[in-house]
């Protein structure tokens, strides 16, 4: 497996904010790489750099051995890009948007008919082909945008938060499409702020404040978590979170309807039981759990702060 996308020590600043800071990442041919980070982590800057839409302060990027900065014209025909913001023509219909991109990519005549059928096949947008893009639901919009980006059968897909603002069902369908594309040999770099999507990728890269925190397989990344983790079955009010964090050796964090409590590897939960009982947290409400991707991410992120 070759490094199809190779990002080498790139940096890009906006005035005094380092949007991307000495960032390196390699994506192999035919894999799905998830780029994970909160808003403002630098995901979009990275995507835009990959599309040669912004200049780099330093470092270089190659796609299939071609320099993004110098040989982008040769990269274009094999690149499919879907920006974060919906950027199709809202006043054109589904079919007209597809036709337009077909024209741009020189997919004409019967080749277009065939391609359109394939794209409609997975997007299920055919019944809506006369509807204007403006009037589509969030999920349908993203499927249309993906269809347009796939018109020319690209080898590499760059998707910037494609599932943001999309309902869970459509999100799952969207990932089904990505997995099928992977089977067809497409290399995919997809950014997302959602941990639950990461599990479906081959590998994930955590990014925060423009820096890479770590990268690895989704099922291996939680192993990086240091310490022991417990689930507290109690309502995470801000006072209880504050109280818990004031205890030396403990870190508490809201997690869904409860809390995650973290302590050092060599520590013991028994040592804190008296103080926890005082906060109305009996043993019965505390149980050890295996750390997940999010716990791992947050721990790595907090070290950066």
Partner 1 sequence: MRQALFGLIRKEFIQVFRDRNMLRLIFLMPIIQLLLFGYVVNIDVKDIDLDVYDFDRSSESRELVQATSANNYFTPHDTVIALRNLEDNFQNSSSDMAIIIPHDFSEKLMRKESPTIALISDGSNANSTAIGTGYMAQIVQSFTKGYYWVEPPLKIRFDVLYNPEAESVYYMVPGIVATLLTMITVMLTSMAIVREREVGTLEQLLVTPIKGRVLLIGKLIPFAILGLLEIVIALTAGVLWFQVPFVGSPILLFALAGLYLITPLGIGLFFSNVTSTQQQAMFFAWFFSVFAILTSGFFTPISNMPMWMQYITYLNPMRYFMEIVRAIMMKGATLPDLTFQVGVLIFYGISIFSLSALRFSKRTA
Binding site for partner 1 (CB under 8 A): 51-53, 73, 76-77, 79, 81, 83, 85-92, 96, 99-106, 108
Shortest Å distance, C-beta 54 to partner 1: 10
> Which residue is it, tokens 């894999």?
31
**CB crowding 191-227: b at 16 or more within 10 Å, else e:** bbeebebbebbebbbbbbbbbbbebeebeebbebbee
Nearer to partner 1, 104 or 271 (CB): 104
Strand order from edge to edge, sheet including 187-192: 79-82, 156-160, 187-192, 32-36, 203-208, 211-216
Shortest Å distance, C-beta 120 to partner 1: 19
Q: Is 110 exposed, middle or buried (0-12, 13-18, 19+ CB in 10 A)?
A: exposed
Shortest Å distance, C-beta 132 to partner 1: 8
Nearer to partner 1, 87 or 214 (CB): 87
Nearer to partner 1, 153 or 243 (CB): 153
Q: How far is CA 9 from CA 48, 123, 282, 303, in A?
A: 16, 37, 49, 21
Closest of 243, 254, 249 to residue 270, by C-alpha: 249
Nearer to partner 1, 89 or 122 (CB): 89
Q: Is 97 exposed, middle or buried (0-12, 13-18, 19+ CB in 10 A)?
A: buried
Task: Provide the token pair at 216.
Answer: 């690895």
Nearer to partner 1, 90 or 168 (CB): 90
Shortest Å distance, C-beta 130 to partner 1: 13
Task: Provide the token pair at 267.
Answer: 């520590």
Nearer to partner 1, 76 or 211 (CB): 76
Nearer to partner 1, 100 or 231 (CB): 100
Shortest Å distance, C-beta 29 to partner 1: 20
Shortest Å distance, C-beta 113 to partner 1: 15
Shortest Å distance, C-beta 72 to partner 1: 9
């Amino acid at each position: 497996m070759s490094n199809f996308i190779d990002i080498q020590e790139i940096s890009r600043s906006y005035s005094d904010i380092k949007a991307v800071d000495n960032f390196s990442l390699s994506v192999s041919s035919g894999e799905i790489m998830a780029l994970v980070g909160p808003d403002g982590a630098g995901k979009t800057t990275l995507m835009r750099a990959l599309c040669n839409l912004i200049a780099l302060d330093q470092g270089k990027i190659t796609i299939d051995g071609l320099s993004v900065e110098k040989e982008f014209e040769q990269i274009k025909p094999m690149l499919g890009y879907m920006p974060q913001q919906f950027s199709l023509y809202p006043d054109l219909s589904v079919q007209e948007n597809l036709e337009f991109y077909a024209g741009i990519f020189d997919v004409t005549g019967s080749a277009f008919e065939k391609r359109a059928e394939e794209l409609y096949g997975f997007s299920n947008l055919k019944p809506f082909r006369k509807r204007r893009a403006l009037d589509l639901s969030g999920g349908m919009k993203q499927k249309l945008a993906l269809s347009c980006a796939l018109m020319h059968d690209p080898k590499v897909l760059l998707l910037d938060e494609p599932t943001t603002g999309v309902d869970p069902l459509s999100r799952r369908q969207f990932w089904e499409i990505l997995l099928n594309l992977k089977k067809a040999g497409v290399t995919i770099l997809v950014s997302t702020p959602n941990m639950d999507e990461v599990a479906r990728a081959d590998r994930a890269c955590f990014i925060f404040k423009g820096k890479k925190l770590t990268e690895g397989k989704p099922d291996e990344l939680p192993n990086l978590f240091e310490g022991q983790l417990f689930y507290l079955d109690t309502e995470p009010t801000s006072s209880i979170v504050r109280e818990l964090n004031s205890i030396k050796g403990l870190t508490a964090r809201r997690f869904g309807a409860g809390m995650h409590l973290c302590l050092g590897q060599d520590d013991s939960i028994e040592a804190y039981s008296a103080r926890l009982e005082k906060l109305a947290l009996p043993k019965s409400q505390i149980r050890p759990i295996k750390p997940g991707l999010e716990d791992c991410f947050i721990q790595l992120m907090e070290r950066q702060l």
